[in-house]
Amino acid sequence: MRHQNRTAKLGRKGQHRNAMLANMVCSLIQKKRITTTLAKAKAAKPVAEKMITLGKKGTLHARRLAASRLRHQSRSFFQGKPTQKGKELRDKWRLEEDVVRILFDDLAPGFKDRPGGYTRIMKLGQRRGDAAQMAILEWVEAEVAADEAKD
């Protein structure tokens, strides 16, 4: 019996599951919306919401905790080719791929007045190959922020 066991196994061992969820949340932070199976979306939702809660705190300790959970080096991690211009590549990487910076500087301030419920899951239907239930996981304020950016 699985009484009071909340962790969805997702057919993976613990380390693989944690790495997969970290990658999914990193993709969600970068792309603002991901399409995945319903079970994976339900498993990734609490991780994403906890990252926004850390982002709202904004402290150095919270940044380090987020970087650790997302398996992503905070701020200083960059690997570029030595023949390319380093500063331009670092700035581009920081703006587009540094998920800790995006989380703390771009996403979390938009949720500062919201007490919770930062993500939503929208069901899509069944996948054609194996009939798995598909879903979209996205930020709740995503379209509000996108509309403000267009104006």
The CATH number of the domain holding residue 70 is 3.90.1030.10
Residue 5 lies in a domain: no
Label residues 132-141 b or e (16+ Cβ within 10 Å = b): eebbebbbeb
CA distance 99 to 4: 33
State what percent of residues in the chain have pLDDT above 90: 70
Residue 33 lies in a domain: yes
Q: What is the pLDDT of residues 96-113, one digit of tens each?
A: 888 999 999 999 999 999
Residue 107 lies in a domain: yes
Residue 66 lies in a domain: yes
Residue 118 lies in a domain: yes
Whether residue 126 has pLDDT greater than 60 = yes
- Total domain count, the chain: 1
CA dihedral 23, 25, 30, 34 (to 10 degrees): 100
Domain that holds residue 22: 14-150
- Start-to-end C-alpha separation, the chain: 54
Residue 124 lies in a domain: yes
Lowest mean pLDDT among 5-14, 91-100, 104-113: 91-100
Query: 120 - beta bridge partners?
Result: 138
Query: Please, which residues have CB within 8 angstroms of residue 145's CB and are 6 or more apart in sequence?
Result: 110, 139
Residue 8 lies in a domain: no
At 100 the three-state DSSP class reads: helix
User: What value does the mean pLDDT take over residues 41-62?
Assistant: 96
What is the number of other CB atoms lying within 10 angstroms of the CB of residue 15?
8
Predicted TM-score (pTM) of this structure:
0.83
CA distance 9 to 119: 21
Q: pLDDT-based confidence at 33, cuts 50/70/90?
A: very high
Residue 7 lies in a domain: no
The values of phi and psi at residue 119, to 5°, are: -120, 160
